Amino acid sequence: MPGYIQTETRAGETITMGETKIVPFSKSLRVQIPGWHGGLIWNRPVSLLVVSSDGSEQIIPIVDVTRQALWALLGVSLAVFPLMMLISQRCNKTNRR
Partner 1 sequence: MSDENALETQDEVFEFLKEDDVLEVIHDTLGEFLQSASVEAVYGAPIKDGNTLIIPAAEVLTVMGFGVGAGRGKGFSKETESEEDQSEDISEGVGSGGGGGGRVLSRPAAVIISTPEGVRVEPVVDVTKIGLAALTAAGFMVGMLLRMMNPKNALKDI
Residues that bind partner 1 (CB under 8 A): 8, 10-13, 15, 17-18, 20, 22, 24-26, 28, 30, 36-45, 48, 50, 58, 60-67, 69-70, 73-74, 76-77, 80-81, 84-85, 87-89, 91-93, 95
Cβ closest to partner 1, residue 2 vs residue 74: 74
Query: CA dihedral defined by 6, 42, 10, 4, rounded to 10 degrees?
Result: 10
Give the closest residue to 25 by CA, choosing from 38, 7, 39, 1.
Answer: 7
Shortest distance, position 3 Cβ to partner 1, whole Å = 16
Q: Smallest distance from the beta carbon of 61 to partner 1, in angstroms?
A: 8
Quick check: 40 and 46 in contact, CB under 8 A? Answer: no
Closer CB to partner 1, 2 or 12, in the complex: 12
**Cβ-contact 41, 7 below 8 angstroms:** no
Complex with partner 1: residue 2 or 56, whichever CB lies closer: 56
